Structure 1
Amino acid sequence: MFRCILACDLKGGVVVRGVRGEREKYRPIHEYSRIVTTSEPLEMIRAMKPRETYIADLDRITGAGDHLETIRSISGLTRTMVDAGISRGEDAARLRQVSGGIILGTETASLSLIEALQGRDALVSIDMRHGSMMSADPALGASPLDTVRALNALELGGIILLDVARVGSGEGIDLGLLRAAVSTSRHPVIVGGGVRDLRDLEQAGQAGAAGAIIASAVHSLTIPLDLLR
């Protein structure tokens, strides 16, 4: 079954709308959403009732704090996978206590750390900006497909292709890269960033993606909320 996963970016205690990775400009989601009138995380999740949620703890990623207790509560309402900028083993241990799955992003995690933390509850986010790698470790490879190949030897729950420059942009997904990653990876591939509408979801599925991470298109009613449920 194709997985439609709600993106939930947490910053300063509220859910914000992510746009092109420009984190300092993110605004509370209720200012944009046509579905919810609140940016309080638990209230939003209760209103939207997603089956599965991708959470980015932006404060943890930027070193401004964390939302661990909020994430614990959200994980009682929906299946969660969480990116909190893991760069050390102890970060992952804390996150595993409050979430359904951890995300090891190439922006902050080294290949050796990913190897140490691998498991069925771990996903690797191949973080990109305009198709170029955002990487903390040259050993991960110079290109997204290099990273896909490097990850094939590991036990993972999946990989995420996330181009932050496409997030909230409505530009669509990079189908060429997605097809290449699917044909190269032995893990399920989830795509994030730029999903516009039902046609994008259909094309992602036809390309072999296991799922897509979506937010703006749902909040703008371009993609029906029911697909998240």
Structure 2
Amino acid sequence: MQVIPAIDLRGGRCVRLVQGDYGRETVFGEDPAEMARHWQDEGATRIHLVDLDGAKLGKPANVESVKAILARVDVPCQLGGGIRDEETLEAWLGAGLDRVIVGTQALKDPAWFSRMAHRHPGRLALGLDARDGRVATSGWLDVSTVEATELAEQFDALPLAAVIYTDIARDGMLEGPNLESTRALADRLRTPVIASGGVGSLEDIGRLATLPVSGAIVGRALYDGRFRLCEARERAGEEPETP
């Protein structure tokens, strides 16, 4: 299982929110590119980026910060937040991102999402953010009536890179991921599932590693120093890099 450190961007800074609440923000760094380099130096094999302002506005906002990160690191980066049209999607892929993550627009326009997935096989991930099992959109500000598993199954035949599943109630809380719902989703999909939200200990990493998931995104626990990335990678069974 791959352990993927997260960098959430807001106003050009590296921050973390609690349960997606924009009013409960902690700033962890003024230089996101330096933070990305730090995680690469710590052994990260992929970095997860979120344009929080973009998710809220519906269009890219932290463009310069993302470009600075891409210029600073060599490992693959994936980005979600505010990607809701073809022009934006292709601009980000052209800027050097390995993957783009689409959530809101996949729910609003499934046909468009399907076309984009076929046009860019293996380069799109479905961002599946759920509150009480239902899909949340627009930077988690709106909760739909659509069940998360229903949406994921709708797109399971597409050539997606992954489904990134976040239980919003657990995000930033450090109380452990929702293992039951994560396992239930992964068991129903052929698309690789990456778990996100709630990891607070190495024990949480170990529990996730027993599930049929390909990765786990970790944020606040790393920033709070609860464990080091190398420890998490070892607990996850992630293969060490060759010298």
Pair 1:44-2:38 in alignment? no
Task: Report the Cα offset of residue 47 of structure 1.
Answer: 2.5
Match of 2:238 in 1: none
Match of 2:110 in 1: 111
Task: Report the Cα offset of residue 192 of structure 1.
Answer: 0.4
In the TM superposition, what whole-angstrom CA distance separates every residue of 1:198-221 from its partner, at most 9, and x where no partner exists?
Answer: 111111121111110001111222
Pair 1:71-2:70 in alignment? no
Task: Report the Cα offset of residue 15 of structure 1.
Answer: 0.5
In the TM superposition, what whole-angstrom CA distance separates every residue of 1:105-138 from its partner, at most 9, and x where no partner exists?
Answer: 1x343312210211201100111124322258xx
In the TM superposition, what whole-angstrom CA distance separates every residue of 1:36-79 from its partner, at most 9, and x where no partner exists?
Answer: xx431112122232321111111222228612232123124032
Match of 2:77 in 1: 80
Match of 1:121 in 2: 123
* Deviation larger for 67-76 or 12-21: 67-76
- Distance in 2, Cα, partners of 1:25 & 1:94: 31
Match of 1:32 in 2: none
Q: TM-score, normalised by structure 1?
A: 0.86
Distance 1:206 1:97, change over 3 A: same
Q: Which runs of 5 or more structure 2 residues have no equivalent in the other structure?
A: 139-143, 234-240
* Contact 1:80-1:100 within 8 A present in 2 as well: yes
Matched AA of 2:80: D
Question: Helix, strand or coil: the match of 2:122?
Answer: strand
Pair 1:18-2:17 in alignment? yes
* Number of equivalences: 216
* Deviation larger for 151-160 or 71-80: 71-80
Match of 1:150 in 2: 154
* Contact 2:60-2:83 within 8 A present in 1 as well: no
Q: TM-score, normalised by structure 2?
A: 0.81
In the TM superposition, what whole-angstrom CA distance separates every residue of 1:86-120 from its partner, at most 9, and x where no partner exists?
Answer: 22111211111221110011x34331221021120
Question: Helix, strand or coil: the match of 1:171?
Answer: coil
* Contact 1:75-1:100 within 8 A present in 2 as well: no
Aligned pairs for 1:167-206 within 5 A? 167-206=171-210
Match of 1:101 in 2: 99
Match of 1:159 in 2: 163
Pair 1:225-2:229 in alignment? yes
In the TM superposition, what whole-angstrom CA distance separates every residue of 1:159-193 from its partner, at most 9, and x where no partner exists?
Answer: 01112232111121111111111111111100001
Distance 1:183 1:65, change over 3 A: closer
Match of 1:61 in 2: 55
Superposition RMSD on alpha carbons, in Å?
A: 2.1
- Distance in 2, Cα, partners of 1:68 & 1:198: 33
- Distance in 2, Cα, partners of 1:160 & 1:14: 23
Q: Which runs of 5 or more structure 1 residues have no equivalent in the other structure?
A: 30-37
